[in-house]
Amino acid sequence: MDAGIKEEAVQQASEPVDLKPIGETGQESKGEGSFFFVFGLGLLIYMSTLLYGQVVLGADYSANRSTHLPWAGTSSTRNRNFLSSAIRDQLVEEMNPDHNPQNNDVSDFLNGNVANPFQCFFTEVGAPASYCPASPVFNEPDSIYNNDEIPQLNLLRPHPQFDGSFEGLPLLAATSWYHSLQVRFQKPV
């Protein structure tokens, strides 16, 4: 997948590196060191050098970028086929304004059967509406949409074509990235 770059870099990094000081005390240190680079799922660069007095200076840089992550919020897989608060509030205001918990008018209304406007998409009907296709589009013999009547609740949902909950696939559009740099000074004790 990465043309062997990652494997080769890991093999090179696993070889021991013997750091030796260059120059005498008081002279400029040219330093010898190691360098390590990996590119695959992320980016890692490691570099170290030996300075005066057996002091090792090292730097590590790491980065990663991911794309096509699941996006949270309205594009998640949660159920989106429910009545909005505005519709529920309106029904309660009209049918149960005093909020009596013994009053079942709203539930009775929502669960009450009404004419099925989708029936012509599932089965042949006697007098099809103007929006009906010439022949049924769906072959779902177990669907309630084959019936003459369906619950009012189904027609008030945002996705009335789904009987019950509707959990769609998440939108894979999010990205993430990070960068980190660590610098170390090490001196043996």
Same domain, 97 and 141: yes
Within 15-78, strands assigned E span 33-39, 43-50, 56-70
Q: Determine the pLDDT at residue 114.
A: 94
> Is there a single domain that holds both residue 119 and residue 149?
yes
pLDDT, the chain, mean: 75
123 belongs to a structural domain: yes
Please state the domain count of the chain: 2
pLDDT value at position 82? 78
What confidence score (pLDDT) does residue 13 get? 45
pLDDT digits (tens, 9 = 90+) for 82-130: 788 888 899 999 999 999 989 999 999 999 999 999 999 999 998 888 9
Q: Within a domain: residue 13?
A: yes
Examine the domain organization and report whether 114 and 141 are in the same domain: yes
38 located within any domain: yes
Q: Are residues 60 and 82 in the same domain?
A: no
Q: Which of 123, 150, 154, 151 is nearest to 138 (CA)?
A: 123
Helix residue ranges, H only, the chain: 5-14, 85-95, 105-111, 119-122, 152-156
Answer yes or no: is 167 within a domain: no
* Residue 69 one-letter amino acid: L
Residue 165 lies in a domain: no
Whether the per-residue pLDDT at 27 is higher than 50: the answer is no
113 and 92 assigned to the same domain: yes
| Same-domain status, 48 and 89 | no
120 CB contacts (<8 Å, ≥6 apart)? 128, 129, 132, 133, 136
Considering the domain architecture, whether residues 82 and 144 belong to the same structural domain is answered as yes
Q: Is residue 93 part of a domain?
A: yes
Same-domain status, 119 and 182:
no
Both 61 and 108 in a single domain? no
* Claim to verify: residue 86 and residue 26 sit in the same structural domain: no
- The predicted pLDDT at position 54 comes to 82
Question: Considering the domain boundaries, does residue 163 fall inside one?
Answer: no
Q: Is the pLDDT of residue 74 over 90?
A: no
59 has pLDDT over 80: yes
Confidence of residue 142 (pLDDT cuts 50, 70, 90): confident
- Tell me, yes or no, whether 54 and 115 share the same domain: no
Within-domain flag for 161: no
Q: What is the pLDDT of residues 8-24, one digit of tens each?
A: 444 444 444 444 444 44
115 and 151 part of one domain? yes
57 is in which domain, residue-wise? Answer: 5-69+174-186
